[in-house]
Chain A
């Protein structure tokens, strides 16, 4: 065969080789695929470690709170509000008390209305929760003025 046929072929082979060599340097060592093949099998081990270790746990649960705030914990545990995590109103603990030293408490009416706005939906648990009409029931006043969220009955100790 004439060289004008071979020459472009050599160029193509050269390009393929270049790509293969470049690939060796560019593709991370832990990048590959599982037995499932190219459709679903992509996998990168080091990135799994990123998600495992580089994200901070911010919500610590009531278990984290109960030793220092044992009085509040003991109080709320005797009420229907026992099912609510401290952090749902007090915000994520993060590294409290070192960081942040004080947590911002959500005392807004909207926070209480998440459950206590009456929606009488049959087949939903919402129908079983007692609610108030926020436009008629002492509007413009924080619920905690009268109701202690840790002891949610009028007159309960604050």
Chain B
């Protein structure tokens, strides 16, 4: 038979025992800590999105040159934040694609780079269709690179741009493997993961990205998808646009006009 004194003692102990792990969870939950600072819950009025019109792109590669110089990506290293791919589809159903040096120097030959020093020239009459596709970070709504980062060094800013903390990144390379679009690479100087961030230092000052500004043909556009009057947002809503690898569920925010299913 339990007496009153023991019952109260045990009750207090039990409650304290239950409360302790709960309190510990409170302490380790960064979400709670962050909310206490009043940083969450404020939704950004900006969601950056990109639009590429492949009909307009001529493959001059001036965007790639501008990007590398603007963002201090080593010019001669074979890494780049953005690149342009050439697709040549022949009448007998073959698909050729290349991007020599990421098209930093454009496409100044009709020979397709097959890799390993091999090139193939395709006769004009054999071409069914051929076009250029600029690629860059898709700033996914569900970014797999953020998901796999073991140290939380890469994150999505409230305006949707995925950034890398160069101090916090340990250079493990998980994110480089996780990105379905292959936009991430290892920075040869900083020795951390590097990626296109829509020229965050420019767009947050009201400027266009370096690649958008450099493009003579208006093939690249950047805008705020949350603003209904933004030209890019209008086109995405009113015209037929597509995204890359939709089936991955990453919800990419780089939209394309005029790509066909061969583009991967």
Residue A44 is within 8 A (CB to CB) of chain B in the complex: yes
Contact of A85 among B59, B143, B216, B219 (CB under 8 A): B216
**A103-137 Cβ-contact flags toward B at 8 Å (1 or 0):** 00000001001110101111111100100001000
B110 smallest CB distance to A (angstroms): 6
**Is A114 a contact of B55 with CB atoms below 8 Å?**
no
Closest B-chain residue to A121, C-beta based?
Answer: B130
**Is A31 a contact of B152 with CB atoms below 8 Å?**
yes
**Is A31 a contact of B40 with CB atoms below 8 Å?**
no
- The A-B contact count (CB < 8 A) is 175
**Is B24 a contact of A122 with CB atoms below 8 Å?**
no
Residue B146 is within 8 A (CB to CB) of chain A in the complex: yes
- Contact flag A59-B132 (CB < 8 Å), given A40-B143, A119-B107, A125-B217: no
**Is B34 a contact of A43 with CB atoms below 8 Å?**
yes
**A27-42 Cβ-contact flags toward B at 8 Å (1 or 0):** 1001111110101111
Chain A residues with CB under 8 A of B219: 125
Most chain B beta carbons < 10 A, residue from A16, A30, A51, A134? A51
A126 smallest CB distance to B (angstroms): 4
Stretch at the interface among B3-11, B65-73, B232-240: B65-73
Q: In the complex, which residues 72-109 of chain A have their Cβ closer than 8 Å to any Cβ of chain B? A: 83-85, 87-88, 91-92
Closest B-chain residue to A82, C-beta based?
Answer: B216
A134 to B106 CA separation, bound complex (whole angstroms) = 15
**Is B168 a contact of A47 with CB atoms below 8 Å?**
yes
**Is A20 a contact of B132 with CB atoms below 8 Å?**
no
**B94-125 Cβ-contact flags toward A at 8 Å (1 or 0):** 00000000000111111000000000000010
Q: In the complex, which residues 128-169 of chain B have their Cβ closer than 8 Å to any Cβ of chain A? A: 128-132, 142-143, 146-147, 149, 152, 154-157, 163, 165-168
- B contact residues, total (Cβ < 8 Å): 69
Chain B residues with CB under 8 A of A56: 201
Residue A58 is within 8 A (CB to CB) of chain B in the complex: yes
A43 smallest CB distance to B (angstroms): 5
**Is B155 a contact of A59 with CB atoms below 8 Å?**
no
Residue B241 is within 8 A (CB to CB) of chain A in the complex: no
Chain A residues with CB under 8 A of B202: 57
**Is B149 a contact of A57 with CB atoms below 8 Å?**
no
**Is A44 a contact of B108 with CB atoms below 8 Å?**
no
**With contacts A59-B214, A110-B108, A120-B127 known, what are 17 further pairs, Cβ within 8 A?**
A31-B152, A33-B30, A33-B31, A34-B40, A40-B146, A40-B156, A50-B165, A59-B213, A84-B62, A87-B214, A114-B62, A114-B105, A115-B106, A117-B107, A119-B107, A121-B131, A125-B217
